[in-house]
Structure formats: structure tokens, C-alpha cells
Chains A and B, each alone.
Chain A
Amino acid sequence: MRRLVVWNMMTLDGMFEGAKPWDLDFHTRAWGEELEAFSLEQGKEIGTLLFGRRTYEGMAAYWTKETGPIADMMNGIAKAVASRTLAKADWNNTRLLKGDAFDAVRKLKAETGKDVFVFGSADLLSSLLAAELVDEYRLCLVPGVLRKGNPLFKPADKPIAMTLQSSRPLKTGGVILTYRVGA
């Protein structure tokens, strides 16, 4: 069974996006050589990159215009988008997963190969986390506070315990934290 690993940059107050969609300026506070190297290394672990519709559309629009090693990785890697409303998924090497998202993700995890990674996609993640389909959170905590923004973890009634695997401060002041879901 493949694992589902989440990677996101997040402010100290839990935002992964600013008040407007794709407002990601806060990334620059933590971005630098170390994160770039980390992203490329992490890329080698990814079997399938899974998205919700909104993140998929934004990422496709952005990366198809970019060049460089990270763009090559994003454009080349095997991708999947879970959506009932998307008619087609045109970004290179993408599978469109229609129908029930939980079933689709379970099948994806059951495939052999390297792990499934999720970037962005907070709405999709919220339901996957509640359905116990998320295995790991890797977060780069950015030394900033947005207050108005889009939280990565959506409001919920029950707490979810995690187990700290590692924490790594970066020269920029970002901190990469890895948590396994579950106590």
C-alpha cells in the first residue's frame, strides 16, 4: 500500500494560501537554496502527484509556462486529479479520477510504485484526512502570519493526533516538520 504524503508551505497561523486564490507571496520568506534542493530531492520520492481540481488548474497553468529543474519535474511527473466536475485533464501525464474521491484515492494507494504526494488541495485533503487516507504531513513553517487567508486544516470537531518524525530549521528561518498521522 502506497502512502499518501502531504507537502505544503504554511504560515505560523496555519494558512497555506493568502486571502486571494494563489496568493503565495509568503513563500518567499522561507524559499531559498535549501528548499529548492529539498523539493528536487522530494521529487524523487513521488510516484503520483494527486491534486484537487483548483490546485490542479492553477498548477497546470503555472508550470506549463515555467522552465528549470523544478518545472521539468512538475511537468514530467505522473499526476492525478480527483474531480467530479473537470471534463478533461490536459496537463502532461495526468489521469482524471472521476466518481467517488475516496474510492479513487484508495485505488491509487493500492497501486504499486512510489508514494502518492499531495500539494495544496486543502479541500480535498480535509475529506481525505477525515477518511483516514492521509499518512504523513510535511510542512514548511514560514516565519510569517497572514491572519486572513486559506487555512490548510479546515475547522473540525475532533482533534487529530500526529507523531513528530523530524524537524529541520532552514537558514531562511523556515522549518520543515514531518508528522505521521496518528498517535
Chain B
Amino acid sequence: MAKLVFGMNQSLDGYVDHMAFSPGPTLFRHFIEEAERQAGSIYGRKIYEIMRYWDDDHPDWGPEGAAFAAAWRKQPKWVVSRTLKSVGPNATLVEGDLEGAIRKLKAERDGEIEVAGPDLAHSLTELGLVDEYRIYLHPVVLGHGRPYFDGPRPPLRLKSHDRIGEDVVRLTYVPA
């Protein structure tokens, strides 16, 4: 049975914004290791279109960028969207009944499956399907943005607390 994990970079005032956080080298290496370990990723349309950046080679990458791209391309991706007609390599459109499709995915696989972004995570939380919330807390107050928590949440319990690199605190919460 796979575990669904909603992990995102977040500001102190609770916002997620992929443009606001460029991970330092330690955090980026952590994300590479995570990408290598994960059994796959479930994306909403917006975040999938952003992540498709990694399907193409970019000349300004160092070895780290190439390593992340390699890991990400190897993972199966499942994209939840009613408007997308086609998806890229190693990706499948999730159609029809979301709850049924995701339950089947969890039952058929083992390990960790990443969920992104906040809209999809909210829908899956309402269905009781998210097993862990991982907040990568960055030392910045953004002032505005999309909230990480976009709706009611179950009561949460702190499962673990880690420092990643100099200034990021990773907090993992599970439904209590």
C-alpha cells in the first residue's frame, strides 16, 4: 500500500509559491534523493505544467539539475485534469472517478507517492487519502500567495522535525 505525501516549500506566513523558493544546494540534493526514492507523483494540472520543465534538457543545468531531471523522468506521473488532452512522457491522465482511481493507485503500489499542488492536495485530503503533510519551512515572510492549507484539515500530529541545510526546517505531520 503506497503512502501519499503532500510536500511543499512554504513561507513562514503559510504560502507556497514555486517562484519564491530556489532551494540551496543541500535542499536541492535532498529533493533529488526524494525524487529517486519516490514510487511516483500525482499532480494537478498547474503544477504538472510547471514540472514539465524537467522533461526537456536545459543548457544551464549543472550535474545537480541533470540528476533531478533523470530521477523525475524515471518516475511515473499521474495527472489529474479535466482540461488537459494529453500528457508528456511517463505520465498518465487520471480520468473519471478521482477517489476510485487514487485508491486503486495506492493499493497497487508500494512506497511513497508525492502529491502536488495545494488544490489537488485539498481534494485528496477531503477524500481522506493524504497520509503525510511535509512542510519545508523557509525563513521568509512572503506577504501573499497561495496557502499550503487550502481547506479544512484533520487534526494533525507532528511526526518528525528535521533541519535541512542551514535554514530550512522540514516538519512532517500526519492526521492525528
Contact = CB atoms under 8 A, between A and B. Distances in A.
15 contacts: A143-B156, A143-B173, A143-B176, A153-B12, A156-B143, A160-B143, A161-B140, A162-B12, A162-B141, A164-B166, A164-B167, A167-B169, A173-B156, A173-B157, A175-B161
Contacts of B171: 141, 175
Nearest to A158: B143
Contacts of B161: 167, 169, 175
A162 B143 contact: no
Nearest to A11: B14
B147 A13 contact: yes
Contacts of A179: 12, 139
Interface residues of B, number: 32
Nearest to B165: A164
Contacts of B135: 12
Interface string B116-143: 0000000000000000000101011111
Given A143-B156, A163-B167, A12 B141 contact: no
A145 B156 contact: yes
A171 to B, nearest CB: 10
Given A14-B14, A160-B143, A167-B169, 4 more contacts: A12-B149, A12-B156, A151-B14, A163-B167
A143 B139 contact: no
A155 B143 CA distance: 5
A68 interface: no
B172 to A, nearest CB: 11
A174 B158 CA distance: 8
Interface residues of A, number: 32
B48 interface: no
A25 interface: no
A106 to B, nearest CB: 22
B43 interface: no
A74 to B, nearest CB: 26
A147 interface: yes
A152 interface: yes
Given A141-B171, A144-B156, A175-B161, A163 B139 contact: yes
B148 interface: yes
A159 interface: yes
A101 interface: no
Given A147-B149, A179-B12, A159 B141 contact: yes
Contacts of A139: 12
A143 B141 CA distance: 19
B148 A13 contact: yes
A14 B13 contact: yes
Interface in B149-176: 149, 151-153, 155-158, 161, 163, 166-169, 171, 173, 176
Contacts of A13: 14, 147-149
A158 B133 CA distance: 27
B20 interface: yes
Contacts of A154: 143
A104 interface: no
